[in-house]
Amino acid sequence: MVETQPDLMRLPWVFLGKPLHRDYIPDSMEKTALLFAGQGAQFVGMGKELYDQSPAARALFNEADQALGVKLTDVCFTGPADKLTDTSWCQPAIFTHSLAALAAIREKMPDFQFQAAAGLSLGEWSALTAAGWIKFSDAVKTVRLRGQLMQEACLQTKGGMASVMGMDAGKLKTVCDEAGIDMANLNCPGQIVVSGTKEGIDKAMALAKERGAKRAIPLAVAGAYHSRLMQSAAEKLRPEIAGLAIQPSNIAVISNVTAAPHEAGALKEQLVRQITSSVRWEDSMRALLAQGFRSFIELGPGEVLAGLLKRIDREARVISAGKPADLAKLAIN
């Protein structure tokens, strides 16, 4: 893992929607970053309360159905679970739920502002859409295709993933190289997910345990996400990403690939690379913390990102907001 922090000092950080010079940060300013959930957080019934109680969230779910030409809402609300778990469905489902939660917040608090965003894997698409870089209807269609292509790659390659705990990233990288697999998610101190062929995963888990890892546990996933085995999905998605309309925003979005803010000229290539590259989540969070962010809101199903952030910095304030009842928490944040 790279020890140095990304240089965010050139960013046009914003306060209440206006550019803020980096050297002028009032003591009273509360810099807020949004965090967006990745694949694996889905559950049957996700988003139903938002749909029922928030007209803004309902409109977004309906827009997703219209853009995709399928009833994504039915899969979110009633499943079945095996269908929702399928990558081609769960990615647009989590994406839409995450943005619907933000729509509900904006509906309840019209003056709500945030100054940066980040998302874990799939969640990076949610972050870019929330920050205005990509139009929702364009993004949800691309996310659906991303899920379909990744599901296809899973079926073709028969890979797997494992979580390794209590091992230094440098030592684990050596293990992965020997096993012919990749480090997929550098989540937080002491937790790294590796990805590759099932034979490679078995070898890496054995080597990691021999060399001091506290635990190495295989994960129940469809394939080897964020590894070289996803290369076919990346290349097939490239033309779709190339055709996306990008609108640069003054709200920074942290790239999974670089753990630094996206720049418009490199955005599309990084979204292609993201499918096979490591997700540098710990570095991404440390980059935001280094810029003075202490207030975080996790949007979408689940509370995984809140847990990871607390393992990175116990002093960070984080709220998970995926249901209408969660919005009340924001009033005291």
C-alpha distances out from residue 175 to 205, 223, 243, Å: 9, 20, 38
Q: What is the DSSP string of 246-273?
A: ----SSEEB-TTTSSB--HHHHHHHHHH
**Nearest 5 degrees, angle CA 90-CA 270-CA 69?**
35
Catalytic, 195? Answer no
**Residue 136: which residues within 8 A CB-CB, separation 6 or more?**
60, 63, 64, 67, 99, 129
Rounded Cα distance between 193 and 165, Å, is: 9
In this structure, what DSSP letter does residue 215 have? E
Residue in 54, 121, 255, 320 annotated catalytic? 121
Residue in 54, 88, 97, 226 annotated catalytic? 226
Run of H or E including 197: strand 191-197
Half-sphere exposure of 291 (CA within 13 A, CB side): 31
Catalytic, 226? Answer yes
C-alpha distances out from residue 273 to 14, 15, 22, 233, 314, Å: 28, 31, 30, 10, 31
Tell me if 158 sits within 8 A of 223, measured CB to CB: yes
Catalytic residue positions? 121, 226
